[in-house]
Structure 1
C-alpha cells in the first residue's frame, strides 16, 4: 500500500512539473527575448536592440498556444498584439532614444503579462527608473538601467518581485 501511494505521489509530482515545463517552454522565449532587448539598450547598442526586438516579434508569433494553461493563454492573447507592436517599433528603428521610448511601452505590457501569467520558473524583478518614470523587468536585482545606459547605469530600484 505504501508503495502504491509513493508511486501515485511521484506521478502527481511529475505531472505538475511536466505542465510547468510545457508552460515554461511556451512563454520563456518571450521573456528571454525581452531581456535581450533590455541588455542591448543597457549596452547602448541600437543595432543589437533592433535585432533582438525582431526576435521577440518572431517569438510572440511562435508561441505554442496549446501548451499554455487557460489563465495564461487568456492573459497572453490580450497582450500579444500590443507586445508585437512595441517590439516592431524597436526593431524598425536605429535611433537609440526612440528605441528606449518604445521600450517603456514594451516594458509596461510585459509587466502586465508577467503579473497575469507565469513566464519563468525564476523570479522576475520589476525595476523602476525615477528619471524616466518608467519600469522594466529583470532576471536580476542588480540595477542596469536600459533607459540611460552607461550615463546612469545604476539609477533605479527594485519595486517588485513577480514569483512564478
Structure 2
C-alpha cells in the first residue's frame, strides 16, 4: 500500500514538473523576439523596437493554438502591435509593460531557453520584464536609468 501511494505521488510530481518545463520552439522564438524589443528599448531605439515588435507579431502567428490559447496570443499580438505602430518611445514602453505582463506567465509555464530566464523589476516604473542576463538593462528608462531595477526571480 505504501509503495502504491509513493508511486502515485511520484507520478503526480513528475507530471507537474514536466508541465512546468514544457518546451516549444515557437514559444522560445517569441521569447527571443521579446528580448530584441527589450534590448532596443533599453538602448532608447524606438525604430529597432518597432521592427522587433513586427517580427514578434509574425512569430506569434506561427504559434499553434494547441500550445497557447488564441486569447493569450491575441493579447501578445495586441501589445506587440502597439509597440510596432508607435513612433513614441514612451508609448512603446507603456505597451512593453503589457507585453511583459503577458510574457512572464509564459516564462513560468514553458522552458524558454537553455539558460536561466531572469524576471527583473524596476520600482520607478513599477514594472517587470524578462531578461536573459542577470545584469539590469532597464527597458523602461533606457540610458537615463539603465541599471535601475533588480532580479526578482530566476527561472531555470
| Normalised-by-shorter TM-score class | 0.7 to 0.9
The aligned counterpart of 2:78 is 85
Q: Which moved more, 1:150-159 or 1:112-121?
A: 112-121
In structure 1, stretches of 5+ residues that fail to align are 1-21
- Give the TM-score, by structure 1 length: 0.77
1:30 aligns to what?
A: 30
- SS of the aligned residue for 1:135 comes to strand
SS of the aligned residue for 2:78 comes to helix
TM-superposed deviation, 1:42 = 0.5
Q: Which runs of 4+ in 1 moved over 6 A?
A: none
CA RMSD of aligned residues (A): 1.7
3-state secondary structure, aligned to 1:125: strand
Deviations 1:75-112 (A, max 9, x none): x2252111110000100001000000000000010001
Deviations 1:106-153 (CA, angstroms, capped at 9, x unpaired): 001000111122222221100000000000000000000000000000
TM-score (normalizing by structure 2):
0.81
Which structure features the higher share of helix residues? 1
| Superposition deviation, residue 26 in structure 1 | 2.5
Partner of 2:99: 106
Give the deviation of 1:24 after TM superposition.
Answer: 4.4
CA contact (8 A) 2:136 2:150 kept: yes
Cα distance in structure 2, aligned partners of 1:96 and 1:110: 20
**SS of 2:86's equivalent?**
coil
Question: Secondary structure, in 3 states, of the residue corresponding to 1:114?
Answer: helix
Q: CA deviation at 1:23?
A: 3.7
Deviations 1:19-76 (A, max 9, x none): xxx944232210000000000000101111011000000000012x39xxx7xx2xx2
Unaligned runs of 5+ in 2: 1-21
The count of residues paired between Structure 1 and Structure 2 equals: 134
**Are 1:160 and 2:153 counterparts?**
yes
